[in-house]
Amino acid sequence: MGQNVVEVGVPKFQLLPACEDDHEGVIVDMKEPMDPNVFQAMLKASLSQWKLEGKKGAWIKLPIGLANLVEIAVKEGFWYHHAEPQYLMLAYWIPDTLSAIPANATHQVRIGAIVMNDKRELLVVREKIGRYWGTGIWKIPTGILEEGEDIFTGATREVKEETGINTEFVDVIAFRQKHRYFFGKSDLIFLCMLQPLSFDIHKQDSEIEEAQWMPLEEYADQPVVENHCIFKHIKDICLAKIERGNAGWTPLPITSLFNDQISYLYMEEDLKP
Amino acid sequence: MGQNVVEVGVPKFQLLPACEDDHEGVIVDMKEPMDPNVFQAMLKASLSQWKLEGKKGAWIKLPIGLANLVEIAVKEGFWYHHAEPQYLMLAYWIPDTLSAIPANATHQVRIGAIVMNDKRELLVVREKIGRYWGTGIWKIPTGILEEGEDIFTGATREVKEETGINTEFVDVIAFRQKHRYFFGKSDLIFLCMLQPLSFDIHKQDSEIEEAQWMPLEEYADQPVVENHCIFKHIKDICLAKIERGNAGWTPLPITSLFNDQISYLYMEEDLKP
C-alpha cells in the first residue's frame, strides 16, 4: 500500500483500512510505513467517506515507528487521545455535535501495605527516592500497580520487592483518592492489611534506604503521625486490628456478563453469598 | 529562539530550556514553534550535557501545535509517555540502567449509583449506547469520573444527569477492579449508596433510553441477575441495606504532609477519630 502513488484529489475508493467499533465509530490501526503525502490524501478521502456514512468517532493508532505521520493526522483535525511507550492514539469526532469520545485513563493506582507481626511491630521503610527522601520519616511500603495487576497481587509483590518479606493478603481496610498527583492525574491508594509469612528483612537497594520492624508505639511517636494525615489513620487502623480484630473488604471473583473474564469485587464478608 | 540558525555540531551552550524535577531528571516544556533542524541540534546537545550532569529521566512536553517535532524527538530516542488532547509527553532514560520512569495512568474510575426510595424501589435505566444497548437490561446508573472529580461528587452528578434525581451521597459499599477494559487499561467501579432527595424522573435523552423506579424484586427477577455477576451482588447489597442497615465506607477529609491539598480517605465509621 505504501508503494502506491496517490494524488491529492484521490478517488473516493482509496481509503485507509478501518474497522468499526461498538460506538458507530471507525478505528485505523496503522502498522506499515506510508508516505506522508499518500497518508494525507487517503485520510482526507476516508474522513469524507466516514462522514457520508454517518460515522461518529474516528481513531488512528500510530506505532512510534510512524511518528512521521503524527503531524499529518493533527493537520487533518485529529487530537491526541492517549499514548503508551510504543504507540500514539489520535481521535476525531466526525458529527457536528459535542464529542462523546471518552476520556483517557485518569488514575494511577497504588497500594500501601500494612504488615504487622505478632510483637505489635509494623514493617516500615525509609525511601531513597521521591517525596519522602531526606525527611527521615519511616513509612509503610507503598508502590504503583503494574498494568493489569490486581490490588491483592500488587500488595504482596511490593512488600516482597522492597523488604524481602513474604506475605499473605488479608483485606483492604481503606482507600484514599487524591487529585493533581502527577501530570494532572489523580491517585488512588488502597491500604491493605497483609499477614507476614517470613520475618528476615532483605531490603531493595535501588529505592529503599532502610527497612525494619518497628514497634507500633515508635511509629506513632514520629512527629509526622500527630498531624491529621494518613499516617495517623494508619496507626489507628493498626490499633483497631489488634484490639478489635477489625476487618476490611476482601475480593470476590465474579464473572463478566459479556465474556469469560474474571474480575474482583471487594466488599465486606457479610455481604458475600 | 526559533529564528536562530544553528548548525549540527552546535556549541554546548545552545541547550533546550529545561527545569529540574524531584527525581534528578529534567523537563523541557516546549511552548513556542521551533525549526525541526534547530530543535534536533539543541536536543542532541542537551542530551550530551544532561548525561554529563548525571541526569536520569528526561521529559519533553510538546503541545499539539508542535506535532512537527514529535518525529525528531523519537529519532533521538524518546518514547511516548502519555498524551492528553492538547499535548504529548515524551520520555527518555539517560543512565545505562533500567528505566525508573513511572508508568502512565492505568485506570479509569467509574461510579455505580444505588438509589433506593422508601418503597423498596431501585432507580434503574436502560442505556442507548455501550455494551448494554439492545439487551433490554435494566441497570443502575453508572458513569465515568471527570478529571479531578471526587467519587462522592461524581456519583450524585451522574444520577442527576441521567435521571434528573437529586441525591445525597451516603457511602461506598463495594468496588470492583477489572482489567483490559478499554485500550488495555483497567477499570475501577465504586458502588455508591445514595439517598434520593427528589423523585420525579427527567431522563437524559442522549444516553438513556428509559429510566424508572423499579421494585427491587422486579430488578432481581431479571434473568441476568441470577448469574454470578455484579447484578446479583447489587441486589444483595440492597437487601442488606434494607434489612440490616448495612453500612459502607465514608470519606474523611485529610490534609497532605507536603502542601495544603485536601484529599479523602474512605473507610468505615468505626475507624474514624
Q: Counting one residue from A and one from B, how many pairs have CB atoms under 8 Å apart? A: 254
B257–A contact, CB cutoff 8 A: yes
A199–B contact, CB cutoff 8 A: no
**Rounded to 5 degrees, what are φ and ψ at A7?**
-75, 155
Query: Is 60 exceeded by the pLDDT of residue B9?
Result: no
Q: What confidence tier does B271 reach under pLDDT thresholds 50, 70, 90?
A: confident
Q: What percent of chain A has pLDDT over 70?
A: 95
Three state DSSP letters for B77-111: CCEEEEEECCEEEEEEECCCCCCCCCCCCCEEEEE
Q: Rounded to an integer, what distance in angstroms lies between the CA atom of residue A70 and that of residue A60?
A: 10
B145 torsion bin: left (phi>0), alpha (psi -120 to 50), beta (else): beta
Instruction: Write the residue in A67, A100, A186 that is nearest to B71 by C-beta.
Output: A67
Look at residue A31 and give its three-state secondary structure: coil
| CB-CB under 8 Å, A106 with B109 | yes
The secondary structure element, H or E, covering residue B182 is strand B167-182
Instruction: Write the residue in B79, B147, B231 that is nearest to A106 by C-beta.
Output: B147
B265–A contact, CB cutoff 8 A: yes
Give this complex's ipTM.
Answer: 0.86
Look at residue B208 and give its three-state secondary structure: strand
Instruction: Write the residue in A71, A84, A174 that is nearest to B266 by C-beta.
Output: A174
Per-residue model confidence as pLDDT tens digits over B98-139: 888 887 899 999 999 999 999 999 999 999 877 788 888 999
Q: Rounded to an integer, what distance in angstroms lies between the CA atom of residue A219 and that of residue A56?
A: 56
| CB-CB under 8 Å, B258 with A131 | yes
Per-residue model confidence as pLDDT tens digits over A83-97: 999 999 999 999 998
**Rounded to 5 degrees, what are φ and ψ at B96?**
-85, 40
Q: How big, in percent rounded to 5, are the helix, strand and coil portions of chain A?
A: 25, 35, 40
Q: Rounded to an integer, what distance in angstroms lies between the CA atom of residue A234 and that of residue A41?
A: 59
The pLDDT of residue A2 is: 41
Per-residue model confidence as pLDDT tens digits over A154-177: 999 999 999 999 999 999 999 999
The pLDDT of residue A37 is: 95
Q: Pick the closest to residue B91 from B78, B75, B106, B73 (CA basis).
A: B78
Q: What confidence tier does A13 reach under pLDDT thresholds 50, 70, 90?
A: low
Smallest Cα distance from B83 to chain A, Å = 5
| CB-CB under 8 Å, A144 with B230 | no
The pLDDT of residue B104 is: 85
Report the b/e string of A2-37 with b at 16+ CB within 10 A.
Answer: eeeebeeebeeebbbebeeeeeebbbbebeeebbbe
| CB-CB under 8 Å, B180 with A148 | yes
pTM, full prediction: 0.87
Q: Are A128 and A210 in contact (CB under 8 A)?
A: no
Q: Rounded to an integer, what distance in angstroms lies between the CA atom of residue A213 and that of residue A118?
A: 11
Instruction: Write the residue in B22, B67, B103 that is nearest to A147 by C-beta.
Output: B103
Neighbour tally for A135: CB within 10 Å = 14
Residues in B 114-143 with any Cβ partner in A closer than 8 A: 129-131
Beta strands in chain A (DSSP E): 19-20, 26-29, 57-63, 79-84, 87-93, 107-115, 121-127, 142-144, 167-182, 185-196, 208-215, 249-255, 262-268
| CB-CB under 8 Å, A264 with B177 | yes
Query: Is 90 exceeded by the pLDDT of residue A114?
Result: yes
Per-residue model confidence as pLDDT tens digits over B226-245: 776 889 899 999 999 999 88
